[in-house]
Structure 1
Amino acid sequence: MRIVIVDDEPLARERLRRMIDAFPGYDVVGEAGDGSSAVHCVNETAADTVLLDVHMPGMDGLQIARELAEADVPPAVIFVTAHSEHALSAHNNHAAGYLLKPVRRDDLAAALARARQPSRAQLAALDGVVTGDGPTYVSARTRDGIERVAASDILYFWADQKYTTVYHMQGELLIEQSLLALEQALGAAFVRVHRKALVAKRHITGLRLDGEDGATLTLRHVRDPVPVSRRRLAEVRALIEG
């Protein structure tokens, strides 16, 4: 789980980071001390969860939470504050947790475990293509939470029965989207080369003709060639020659 800590007190951020570092499976990917920096940090790091102080100068934690909720795949928010009267506001903002300072280790562990369960807004974006004014992402739920991959990092998709494997720069991701839906959502950056394969054009490095057995594509960062069907061969050849 990727976590961002937001608190205007550096010592409070440091204490939370030390506790989180002792938990396996959690990674603090960023920190912020004010509202605008917090929103930017969460967007840049694609954090799954935000530990968010309520009382801060400028934008307070509740305002930040409302802005984060507008994201295509909003992170889980755990409010952290010294003021118990904010519990109702936290509930109304659909927070994944609410921790009182000084935060106890066991309470933090329990809140992070709850945050692993995707929210309704997150579930709505799972196993799909998330588009907006920024980069396009393919998102899916994994055992570690929600994982999303930028379209620019995707090498190709391979469909097998009811699942589709996303091969990307950092590894693999299993989703339930069909190649047809992916092809329609991702547009001209990808080309269908086989009934089972959708390939990123920018990563194609060559086409190899294999006689009666058809043809294969070589892709940057991919060891094994990707088959090209006879039906798609003319289109793929024209793409490469062009």
Structure 2
Amino acid sequence: MKVLIVDDEPLARDRAARLLTELGNIELLGEAANAEQALAEIARSQPDVLLLDISMPGKSGIELACELAERESSPAIVFCTAYDEYAIAAFDAQAVGYLLKPIQRDKLAAVFGRLSRLNKAQITALAELEAPAQRSQLSSTGPQGISLLAVSAVRYFHADHKYVCAVHPGGELLIDDSLRELEQEFASQFLRIHRNALVALQYLQGIERHGVTGYRVKLQGVAEGPQISRRYLPVVRARLAKGV
């Protein structure tokens, strides 16, 4: 299995290289200190797996992973970071593993042991599982009977305690689905930007400031989009950078 280490910290790269070498059955292709170097090395050596840091100068590891996920053939991503808060965003970026620094040998062995039992096509398939059939309409039952809303009209889903609302230009529809169920069913159409919000990619127009340090998404057809949490901000920026 061919592996490329991508991390801006020399000591972290050295530790990762030593541990990978100890595992065996690993061809260590080299190292990159940032996303730009990584892209050049990926084009040159075609690694099977990236051991990828998240927080780096310039383009983040999340942004790099999102960019690679758009390609027909790309390496599997195993994130390695000092922060556990990026786990959800990492798996949204189609990572197949998530390790915390300092890397523990047994956890590294477990991830690569699993990958070593798969061929390259199977590794790629881990991030490309076939999506289930998607509904074209959502329904809600109320005092006036059943209301229907086309999924294509929804600008965003917002969860408030145990209720989920589908927000559209004409108002809101209270639905029975959980946000997690909606995220799984409409993964190709909606992007999670907060633990309580999914936004429609086709209507995503940009990011705007909210307060001193916060951000909101700008969505076509609604006056005010939902807030973006800090952990999902790199993912939203990456999608906007590539034209959504």
Alignment TM-score, normalising by the size of structure 2? 0.48
- Which structure would you say has the larger Rg? 1
TM-score by length of 1: 0.49
